[in-house]
Amino acid sequence: MDFPSEPFRIKVVEPIRRTTREEREKLIQNAGNNVFNIPADAIYVDLLTDSGTSAMSDNQWAGLMLGDESYAGSKNYYHFEATVRDIFGFEHIIPTHQGRVAENLLFSTLLEKGQIIPNNIHFDTTRANVEYNGGQALDLVIDEAYDPHLEHPFKGNMDLNKLERLIKNQGRHRIPLVMMTITNNSGGGQPVSMQNIRETRQLLKQYEIPLFFDACRFAENCYFIKEREEGYQDKPIKEIAGEIFSHGDGCTMSAKKDGLVNMGGFIGLNDDALSEQITNRLILIEGFPTYGGMAGRDMEAVSRGLQEVLNEDYLRFRISQVRNLGKMLDDQGVPILKPVGGHAIYLNAREFLPHIPQHQFPAQALTVALFREAGIRAVEIGGLMFGHKDPETGEDVFPELEMVRLAIPRRVYTTQHMVYVAESITKLYKEREKIKGLRLVHESPVLRHFTARLEEVEG
List residues near ligand P61 by CB under 6 A. 49, 51, 98-100, 123-126, 181, 185, 214, 216, 254, 256, 265, 407
CA dist., res. 97 & res. 294, Å (int): 5
Residue of 229, 232, 230, 241 lying closest to 154 (CA atoms): 229
Is 224 in contact with 319 (CB distance < 8 Å)? Answer: yes
Closest CB to ligand P61 among residues 77, 218: 218
Q: How far is the CB of 29 from ligand P61 (least distance, A)?
A: 23
Closest CB to ligand P61 among residues 181, 360: 181
Closest CB to ligand P61 among residues 98, 321: 98
Give the residue closest to ligand P61 by C-beta: 99
CA dist., res. 346 & res. 239, Å (int): 30
Closest CB to ligand P61 among residues 185, 279: 185
Residue of 315, 294, 319, 317 lying closest to 306 (CA atoms): 315
Closest CB to ligand P61 among residues 341, 362: 341
Residues 6+ apart with CB under 8 A from 52: 98, 256, 261, 262, 263
Residue of 236, 227, 123, 115 lying closest to 182 (CA atoms): 123
CA dist., res. 186 & res. 166, Å (int): 21
Q: How far is the CB of 382 from ligand P61 (least distance, A)?
A: 13
Q: How far is the CB of 184 from ligand P61 (least distance, A)?
A: 8
Is 364 in contact with 380 (CB distance < 8 Å)? Answer: yes
Burial pattern 211-245, b for ≥16 Cβ within 10 A else e, equals bbbbbbbbbbbbbbbbeebeebeebebbebbbbbb
Q: How far is the CB of 347 from ligand P61 (least distance, A)?
A: 16
Q: How far is the CB of 220 from ligand P61 (least distance, A)?
A: 11
Closest CB to ligand P61 among residues 167, 219: 219
Bridge partners of 56, per DSSP, are: none
Residue type for 54, please? S
Closest CB to ligand P61 among residues 167, 379: 379
Q: Is 173 helix (H, G, I), strand (E, B) or coil?
A: helix
Q: How far is the CB of 182 from ligand P61 (least distance, A)?
A: 9
Residue of 377, 459, 353, 346 lying closest to 33 (CA atoms): 377
Residue spans of alpha helices (H) in 212-360:
218-228, 237-246, 272-285, 296-308, 312-331, 349-352
Is 241 in contact with 312 (CB distance < 8 Å)? Answer: no
Cis ω before 354 (30° cut-off from 0):
no
Closest CB to ligand P61 among residues 105, 167: 105
Q: How far is the CB of 290 from ligand P61 (least distance, A)?
A: 20
Closest CB to ligand P61 among residues 125, 200: 125
Q: How far is the CB of 96 from ligand P61 (least distance, A)?
A: 9
Closest CB to ligand P61 among residues 99, 188: 99
Closest CB to ligand P61 among residues 51, 83: 51
CA dist., res. 255 & res. 54, Å (int): 10
Q: How far is the CB of 101 from ligand P61 (least distance, A)?
A: 7
Q: How far is the CB of 306 from ligand P61 (least distance, A)?
A: 15
Q: How far is the CB of 215 from ligand P61 (least distance, A)?
A: 9
C-alpha pair distances (Å), 63 with each of 11, 79, 129, 220, 273? 16, 11, 33, 24, 33
Closest CB to ligand P61 among residues 142, 216: 216
Residues 6+ apart with CB under 8 A from 319: 220, 223, 224, 227, 342
Q: Is 265 helix (H, G, I), strand (E, B) or coil?
A: strand
Q: How far is the CB of 163 from ligand P61 (least distance, A)?
A: 19
Residues 6+ apart with CB under 8 A from 368: 28, 33, 35, 438, 454
